[in-house]
Structure 1
Amino acid sequence: MTEAELIDVAREAMMVTLKVSAPSLLVALVVGLLVSIFQTLTQIQEQTLTFVPKMMLVFASLVLFLPFMLSNLSEFWHHTMDRVIVGGG
């Protein structure tokens, strides 16, 4: 495997990481923003108010997006192994 191929694999790995983590991170961002707005409007400053809904909805998003995440990771793994086997063999 040449340096260019390694750089390409690293770039693909970063893109797959972004694609796989994006749904959960976006859900956490939106929930945090909505809870912060709610806390600002009601002047309730309870720490668990942000933690519990965020934890539950991030877990739900992981369950919902699990097939998408696994297919992306599996596709990347197969593509990388094909490169290694073809390049090394």
Structure 2
Amino acid sequence: MTPEIAVDLFREALWLTSLIVAVCVVPSLIVGLMVAVFQAATQINEQTLSFLPRLLVMLITLVVLGPWLVTQLMEFTERLIHNIPQLIG
């Protein structure tokens, strides 16, 4: 395996990891920001008020986009396994 191939595999794995994390974190981040603005406007400082909506949004996101994320991860793994002979030799 040449260094170029190793770097390319590493780049693709990092991109897939970043995509999976972004899909999970960004909706939660947006809801957290909206709740923080609501808390600042109403001066309510309840910790569970900010935690519960983010948790629910994360759960809904994983239920809706989970199959697509797993498909992306499985396709990457299958490509990697099928390319082992070319990568080694």
- Tell me the TM-score normalised to structure 1 length: 0.91
Could you tell me how far 1:23 is from its partner in structure 2?
1.6
Q: Give, in whole Å, the separation in 1 of the partners of 2:57 and 2:75.
A: 27
Q: Give, in whole Å, the separation in 1 of the partners of 2:74 and 2:85.
A: 16
Amino acid at match of 2:52: V
Amino acid at match of 1:17: T
Which residue does the alignment assign to 2:6?
6
Number of aligned residues: 89
What residue ranges of structure 2 are gaps of 5+ in the alignment? none
Could you tell me how far 1:88 is from its partner in structure 2?
2.6
Larger relative contact order (Cα-Cα within 8 Å, sequence gap ≥ 6)? 1
Could you tell me how far 1:87 is from its partner in structure 2?
2.5
1:31-42 matched pairs, under 5 angstroms = 31-42=31-42
Considering only aligned residues, what root-mean-square deviation do their CA atoms show, in Å?
Answer: 1.2
2:26 is paired with a residue whose SS is: helix
Percent of aligned pairs with the same amino acid: 35
2:83 is paired with a residue whose SS is: helix
1:57-68 matched pairs, under 5 angstroms = 57-68=57-68
Could you tell me how far 1:83 is from its partner in structure 2?
2.1
Q: Give, in whole Å, the separation in 2 of the partners of 1:84 and 1:10.
A: 15
Which residue does the alignment assign to 2:80?
80
What residue ranges of structure 1 are gaps of 5+ in the alignment? none
Which residue does the alignment assign to 2:25?
25
